[in-house]
Amino acid sequence: MSQADVSYRILTRFQRLEYLSLSGCIELPDSGLTYLKNYGSRLKTLCLDCCFGITDYGLSLVGNGCPSLTVISLYRCNITDAGLEALANTCWSLRHVNLAYCPLISDSGLRALSQGCCQLGAIKISNCRAVSGVGLRGCSSTLVYVDAESCNLEPEGIMAIVSGGGLKFLNIAGLSWLNFRDGLAEIGNGFAARLKILNLRMCRTISDASIVAIAKGCPQLQEWNLALCHEVRFSGWASVGLNCHNLKKLHVNRCRNLCDQGLQALRDGCKRLSVLYMNRNCRISDTAVELFKLYRGNVEIKVEEVMSIGPDWDSLEYDE
């Protein structure tokens, strides 16, 4: 039995489906989605992860057949901006879109989604190398979650991502800007004042100026991953300690320029800190660590390095 036949049997048997996952059907052709026209009107969630045979035409079938769709996952699919435009023109209720590892999409497709889907709340564009971020300029304040790890973001793209003013979670780990050391300062320009979780892991060249701007401009931060941010020095750590009054979890693993004075600044500030992830920080003495434990016995120091932080993608809360 072909995968198109499987799709047909599911849709004809369960004609009131609200959730459908065809993920892993690597040979599923566009024709397998034809039946959505007759049986997809109630569908709210559709997962097509790793459906390599689905093209932009298949997405147009989804758009025409599933007007009530709120969640779509297209992880590792070979769709382009044209497919995203087809979705944006018909699925106006989309809130939750996973485009991770979709190599053929660009800012043009993101622009279509952000402008056409005015309730968009969460989007994953990690490892989409053709995305700079500018496609999200003018996004709705409903956008609270953006995962853009290992994208080729630009400073203008960072500004666009936060432009809606509603962002609570941002993952831009893995940036490597040699010529834009201060480009992340845009996160602290006031539009990200509601940000609670920020992942900057492996943003190796981020400067103190950016750290200071974020610490001052994002007062609601509760978790901040700065692991492997090697260029953060004393003034950056001092600003975190002075301004991040709501910070509960801080990741500083393998930060080469976190020294005893920087650790003291964190110790003396960040009054709500409960967990500090710290290991392989070569400039911190054993004495400084023991003093930290003495003065801040309520803070748990963990040596493990956490790669991923933030809420579970499948159970996001938009209205916290």
pTM (whole model) above 0.75: yes
> Is 7 inside a domain boundary?
no
Tell me the pLDDT tens digit for each residue of 259-292.
999 999 999 999 999 999 999 999 999 999 999 9
Number of domains in the chain: 1
> Is 9 inside a domain boundary?
no
Q: Return the structure tokens found at 49.
A: 């992860």
The DSSP code for 70 is -
CA–centroid distance for 201 within its chain: 12
Containing structural domain, residue 99: 45-53+69-79+91-305
Tell me the pLDDT tens digit for each residue of 165-206.
999 999 999 986 655 567 899 999 999 999 999 999 999 999
**What letter represents residue 218's amino acid?**
C
> Does pLDDT of 241 surpass 60?
yes
> Is 319 inside a domain boundary?
no
On whether the CB atoms of residues 251 and 225 are closer than 8 A, the answer is yes
pLDDT at residue 157, rounded to an integer: 93
Q: Quick check: helix, strand or coil at residue 145?
A: strand
> Is 23 inside a domain boundary?
no
pLDDT at residue 286, rounded to an integer: 97
> Is 156 inside a domain boundary?
yes
CATH number at residue 108: 3.80.10.10
The DSSP code for 59 is H
Cα–Cα distance between 101 and 77 in angstroms, integer? 8
> Is 109 inside a domain boundary?
yes
Tell me the pLDDT tens digit for each residue of 65-117.
999 999 999 999 999 999 999 999 999 999 999 999 999 999 999 999 999 99
The DSSP code for 30 is G
> Is 25 inside a domain boundary?
no
> Is 18 inside a domain boundary?
no
